[in-house]
Structure 1
Amino acid sequence: MKVMNKALPIMKDIIKDMFLNQTPFEMIETFRFADLGCASGPNTLLFVSEIIDTVYKLSNQINNKIPEILVVLNDLHKNDFNNIFIVLPSFYEQLKEKYGYEFSQKCLFSGVPASFYERIFPRKSLHFVHSSYSIHWISQVPENLDNKGHIYMEKTCHPNVFNVYKKQFYKDFSSFLTHRSHEILPKGRMVLTLIGRNMLDHDPSENDIWCIYELLAQSLLDAVSQGLIKQSEVDSFNLPVYHPYKDEVMTIIEEENSFYLEKLQDFDCEWDPDDKLYKKGSGEYLTNCIRSISEPMLVSHFGELDLDYVFERYKEHAANNLKSNKTNYINLIICLCKK
């Protein structure tokens, strides 16, 4: 929630600037925006509702006719879009109660199942693009990756592991920017939020984001020691994720050259926030987060693995880690304007 609270004011300011300083409302009959990597959880429509609210208030502020709003939700084919579409009737009811029937009928939804590392929208069809916690997921595990005993980058990995992950992210993020440059109108905007890291080089700090994935590697090796899975299965499993340093992001944006970088803000979040539902330092909050992220990949790779055992071990490792290390990780908010 802290990440959302940081990103929402920035996103609203970007939209206000679009309409008040660059793209007058009277020139827009339909405001079209896309949420990339939307997932299917409760926060999906929260961002959408905030954007709709911003457009509604702006149009009333300048006494202009409210444009139609087209919301395009995107994620991979395996995402269960039905979980989103099922709640749309109640979402429309909320719009009707808050803004009236006429405006609620101007808000239209569609879904596009595809990888955002490819072209997915018509040329010059979007005014605004949003993505939260998706861009750090790369298109694939890097090829020719020899990373036995680990599932991601870690202090004891061979330096080449870092290099091949970095190369894959560079390729993917460049491709992402190029494809969006075709789909977004001139002066259109993007706001991207992703998890980054503290250091530029390949020597992870003790409290950086990759440490939480190494705890999962340790838990999988515990399952090996119990005969639940084979060592070779762990050796062949790696996560398709890369958390960039802010300077890497700025370099890629500059070299790809389709967008102006308007803002890049980094801030800390806690792995183990003071949540009333969880005992601080217990590892339970972090365990639930990592399980929700990794379970589909673990099931796909390991099949009938006893995940309850794996994540009980993870919770123990996490609790021990939280006692001995700082618990912050870096978030990046990137604001871009199409040239």
Structure 2
Amino acid sequence: MKVAEVLRMNGGIGDTSYANNSLIQQNVIQITKPITDQAITSLYTTLINNPKTISIADLGCSSGPNTLLTVSNLMKAVDNHRKKLRRQHSPEFQIYLNDLPTNDFNTIFQSLPKHRREIAGDGSGLCFFNGVPGSFYGRLFPTDSLHFVHSSYSLHWLSQVPKGIEENKGNISMASDSPPTVIKAYYDQFERDFSTFLKCRSIELVKGGRMVLTMLGRQSENPTWDIWELLGLALNDIAAEGFVEEEKLNSFNLPVYGPSLAEIKLVIEKNGSFTIDRLEISRIHWTGNIGSEDENIVSDEGNGGYGVARSVRAVVEPMLVSHFGQ
């Protein structure tokens, strides 16, 4: 599987699109909004002489309403802080929207006119949008060209399926019965990828720049995810009924790894390019409910398992179709 060619969310605005089945991700953006607001306003305060332009990159932006929600939140946070500081002129914003080349950039750009009107009515400075297709596990921008980097629910995707996991038969990712060598191969791939990501961003960010990364991870030491095990069981049932070849099933593995806080911290400290201001966990249920601290945000993407299935389908359907067929 060539990840860069098949890893994309369902495009468009139809019933099975990512745009209409990503409320969980939207809730995550809202949960982390206080953190992103603090980071961008801290950056703006420390920039000398009221900068004329602030360059922001959203890495793994996908498509749909969440993409421009993040950008809008950041711009409003800067403008509100500008008013508190009594700075007369709002900076202009250079926005870079990055994802793999197969991403549905068209849907994003078709929604820009409405977004520009909303931002302009809010009093923020001019905003210039750029699409940047390419993997964030490599260089994307010139040296010292970015002030702020944001990425939400993207870095759990690996650059490739780990090598040396042929023994993971019957599973489509790390599972409870996966051999230890498979677990290690997945972690090693995550460590290489995340280290590369940090190295590239350290070159592209200006001195004193900020970065906020929200990653789909885990609290426990157990690296397996129930949701992917369930999907694997479903595929095994389909194979048992003869609709999918067993050989094809055994050769399919998702390029996904959910790190723990300790693993994230270890890679960042080992890399040495960044210092950590905040490192914390927020819980969110697959059905869209926030964890025990806030039960007020609820998903309306169907009920129970059906809503979860729609959300998962919007994310992995292109990979499944590419490997198994429609």
Scaled to the shorter chain, the TM-score interval is: 0.7 to 0.9
Alpha-carbon distance in 2 for matches of 1:157, 1:107: 48
Report what 1:284 is aligned to.
Answer: 306
| Structure having the higher Rg | 1
Asked whether 1:74 is paired with 2:95, we answer: no
Q: Hey, what does 1:6 align to over in structure 2?
A: 31
Task: Name the structure 2 match of 1:238.
Answer: 253
Match of 2:201 among 176, 180, 203: 180
CA contact 1:123–1:183 (8 Å) conserved in 2: yes
- 1:119 corresponds to which residue? 139
Q: Displacement, 1:18?
A: 1.6
Residue number in structure 1 paired with 2:161: 141
**Alpha-carbon RMSD:** 1.4
Residue 198 (structure 1) aligns with: 219
Tell me the CA shift for residue 56 of structure 1.
Answer: 1.4
- Does the 8 Å CA contact 1:124/1:184 hold for their aligned counterparts? yes
Q: Is the 8 Å Cα contact of residues 164 and 182 (structure 2) preserved in structure 1? A: no
The secondary structure found in structure 1 opposite 2:68 is helix
Paired with 2:108 and 2:27, the residues of 1 have a C-alpha distance of 23
CA–CA distance in structure 2, aligned partners of residues 214 and 201 of structure 1: 13
Separation of aligned partners in 2, 1:238 and 1:67: 45
Say if 1:171 and 1:90 are closer, same or farther in 2 by CA, change over 3 A.
same
1:295 counterpart letter in structure 2? E
Q: Distance in 2 between matches of 1:233 and 1:68?
A: 51
The one-character-per-residue Cα deviations of 1:13-43 (angstroms, maximum 9, x if unpaired) are 11122222x223x252210010000001211
| Aligned-partner residue type, residue 256 of structure 1 | N
Residue among 65, 73, 84 paired with 1:50: 73
Distance 1:296 1:168, change over 3 A: same
Q: Which residue of 1 aligns with 2:9?
A: none
Q: How does 1:1-339 map to 2 (within 5 A)?
A: 1-20=26-45, 22-24=46-48, 26-64=49-87, 65-99=89-123, 103=124, 106-146=126-166, 147-200=168-221, 204=224, 210-272=225-287, 273=289, 274-276=298-300, 278-279=302-303, 282-304=304-326
CA distance in 1, matches of 2:155, 2:96: 17
TM-score (norm 1): 0.82
Note if contact 1:224-1:230 (Cα within 8 Å) is conserved in structure 2: yes
Partner SS for 2:190: helix
Matched residue SS, 2:208: strand
Q: 1:277 to 1:236 in 2, by over 3 A?
A: closer
Report deviation, 1:276: 4.6
Could you tell me how far apart the structure 2 residues matched to 1:13 and 1:98 are?
20
Q: Distance in 2 between matches of 1:154 and 1:161?
A: 9
Is the 1:200–1:247 Cα contact (8 Å) retained in structure 2?
A: no
CA distance in 2, matches of 1:96, 1:6: 25
Counterpart Cα distance in 2 of 1:158 and 1:109:
46
Partner SS for 2:37: helix
Q: Once the two structures are superposed, what CA deviation does each residue of 1:138-160 show, in whole Å capped at 9, x if it has no partner?
A: 10000121211000011111011
Q: 1:57 Cα deviation (Å)?
A: 1.6
C-alpha distance in 2 between matches for 1:16 and 1:98: 17
Per the TM alignment, residue 263 of structure 1 is displaced from its structure 2 partner at its CA by 0.6
By relative contact order (CA 8 Å, sep 6+), the higher-ranking structure is 2
> What secondary structure sits across from 2:209 in the alignment?
strand
Distance 1:91 1:271 in 2: 29
**SS of the residue 2:93 aligns to:** strand
Q: Distance in 2 between matches of 1:130 and 1:118?
A: 16
Write out per-residue CA displacement over residues 78-105 of structure 1, whole angstroms, 9 at most, x where no aligned residue.
0121110111111112123332xxx55x
CA shift for structure 1 position 199: 2.3
CA displacement, residues 40-98 of structure 1 (integer Å, 9 cap, x when unaligned): 12110001001111111222222222111101000000012111011111111212333
Q: CA deviation at 1:237?
A: 0.3
Q: Would the alpha carbon gap of residues 198 and 63 (structure 1) be closer, same or farther in structure 2, given more than 3 Å must change?
A: closer
Q: Distance in 1 between matches of 2:177 and 2:306?
A: 26
CA change 1:276–1:123 in 2 (3 A) is: closer
Q: Give the ranges of 4+ consecutive aligned residues of structure 1 lying more than 4 Å apart after TM superposition.
A: none
Q: Secondary structure at the match of 2:128?
A: strand
Q: Which has the higher strand share?
A: 1
Q: In structure 1, what is the Cα distance between the partners aligned to 2:118 and 2:315?
A: 30
Match for residue 3 of structure 2? none
